[in-house]
């Protein structure tokens, strides 16, 4: 059985298509999936590079943090899917038995882990995982779209609904449009009826974002006054900012935030340490919100919207497994708009 494996930390040069043993069901709640396509997230770069705080269980490590495929086998306790069903995979795996898991707060499970990081990933012909991590796809999906859907859409959904509580008519600023989570945040914000401004260093990406419903785009390489341009456009600061860049952008984010505004982050691709003037934080009554992945309930909510065709990720490009290193380099260079997908089986 073919799998895309990382043979050591140190970047995509250490990726190789290898032969691995097929997996077997370990629990009556497990399912075995024939993976059709896998997709990459920024997390895949951290894993490949061996970034601090990212430790894979062992090498060779099967990579891939997103995927979709067909159910091949179900354990005796699985009732919501059957062999032959097409499914999308929730890459966040929790224990299922602890108090946070039992009360629907799976993201706070002590054993919470992500496929492709803490556990073997999705870029493999067959995968065994808990049945609660898959939901049926209905309606018209391409395999690349389905594989590209879960992590970014789930992350954006939790950020903007459960965490930032965005409502129709509010104004949102999203930094760095083009990456999967930022594009998903744009789509979710528009679905919720918000008005959206985006930034990018590439005018072509701003045009793509406008086609997806952004009403204002600012090239953050072309101006050093992003907060000023955004405030001039809306006539005020924004209600919600999605800033997963971090160090280079947080000071400007806070300048663009209105009193009572919320800044939500799911990453720190530009650096993790920022300065904060606490006097401004309390005076303006801002909320600074962290978010990561999502719960089973939130996953079910986004899959309903995906199945209805209301949230579908733009796919930047699709690569065969053997050319995966090219996809990693495109992601690392920030060249993409939307998701990078690996074709696992055809």
Query: What's the closest the beta carbon of residue 109 comes to Zn ion, in angstroms?
Result: 3
**Is the CA virtual torsion 44, 244, 303, 311 positive or negative?**
negative
C-beta separation of 147 from 36 below 8 A: yes
Residue 264 touches Zn ion, criterion: CB under 5 A:
no
Give residues with Cβ within 8 angstroms of 67, minimum separation 6. 33, 35, 37, 38, 39, 89, 91, 115, 121, 122, 123, 127, 147, 150, 344
CA angle in degrees (0–180, nearest 5) for 257-108-102: 130
First to last CA, the chain: 14
- # chain residues binding Zn ion, by CB under 5 A: 5
Radius of gyration of the chain (CA): 20
Three-class secondary structure of residue 134 per DSSP: strand
Judged by CB under 5 A, the chain residues 97 through 116 that form the site for Zn ion are 98, 101, 109
Residue 94 touches Zn ion, criterion: CB under 5 A:
yes
Q: Which is nearer to Zn ion, 142 or 292 (CB)?
A: 292
Q: Which is nearer to Zn ion, 101 or 156 (CB)?
A: 101
Query: What's the closest the beta carbon of residue 76 comes to Zn ion, in angstroms?
Result: 22
20, 95, 268, 322: residue in contact with Zn ion (rule CB under 5 A): 95
- Half-sphere exposure for 71 (CA within 13 Å, toward CB): 24
Query: What's the closest the beta carbon of residue 94 comes to Zn ion, in angstroms?
Result: 4
Q: Which is nearer to Zn ion, 232 or 297 (CB)?
A: 297
Q: Which is nearer to Zn ion, 14 or 132 (CB)?
A: 132
Query: What's the closest the beta carbon of residue 261 comes to Zn ion, in angstroms?
Result: 33
> Closest CB to Zn ion belongs to which residue?
109
Q: Which is nearer to Zn ion, 101 or 197 (CB)?
A: 101
Per-residue x/- track, 46-65, Zn ion (CB under 5 A): --------------------
Both structure tokens of 177: 């449009």
Instruction: Please give the residue ranges that form the binding site for Zn ion (CB under 5 A).
Output: 94-95, 98, 101, 109
């Amino acid at each position: 059985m073919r799998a895309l494996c990382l043979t050591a930390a140190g970047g995509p040069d250490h990726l190789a298509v290898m032969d691995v043993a097929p997996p077997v069901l370990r629990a009556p709640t497990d399912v075995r999936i024939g993976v059709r396509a896998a997709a990459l997230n920024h997390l895949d770069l951290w894993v490949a590079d061996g970034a601090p705080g990212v430790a894979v269980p062992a090498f060779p490590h099967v990579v891939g943090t997103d995927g979709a495929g067909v159910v091949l086998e179900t354990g005796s306790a699985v009732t919501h899917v059957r062999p032959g069903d097409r499914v999308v995979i929730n890459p966040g795996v929790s224990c299922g038995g602890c108090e946070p898991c039992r009360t629907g707060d799976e993201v706070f499970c002590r054993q919470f882990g992500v496929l492709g990081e803490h556990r073997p990933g999705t870029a493999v012909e067959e995968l065994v995982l808990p049945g609660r991590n898959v939901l049926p796809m209905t309606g018209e999906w391409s395999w690349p779209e389905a594989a590209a859907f879960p992590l970014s859409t789930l992350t954006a959904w939790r950020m903007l609904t459960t965490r930032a509580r965005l409502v129709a008519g509010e104004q949102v600023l999203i930094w760095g449009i083009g990456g999967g989570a930022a594009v998903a945040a744009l789509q979710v914000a528009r679905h919720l009826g918000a008005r959206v401004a985006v930034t990018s260093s590439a005018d072509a990406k701003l045009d793509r974002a406008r086609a997806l419903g952004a009403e204002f785009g600012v090239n953050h390489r072309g101006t050093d006054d992003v907060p000023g341009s955004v405030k001039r456009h809306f006539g005020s600061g924004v209600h919600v900012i999605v800033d997963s860049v971090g160090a280079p952008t947080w000071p400007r984010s806070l300048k663009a935030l209105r009193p009572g505004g919320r800044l939500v982050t799911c990453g720190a691709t530009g650096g993790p340490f920022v300065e904060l003037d606490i006097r401004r934080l309390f005076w303006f009554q801002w909320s600074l919100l962290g978010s990561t992945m999502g719960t089973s309930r939130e996953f079910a909510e986004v899959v309903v919207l995906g199945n209805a065709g209301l949230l579908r990720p733009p796919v930047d490009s699709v690569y065969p497994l053997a050319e995966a290193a090219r996809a990693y380099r495109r992601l690392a260079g920030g060249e993409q708009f939307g998701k990078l997908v690996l074709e696992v089986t055809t």
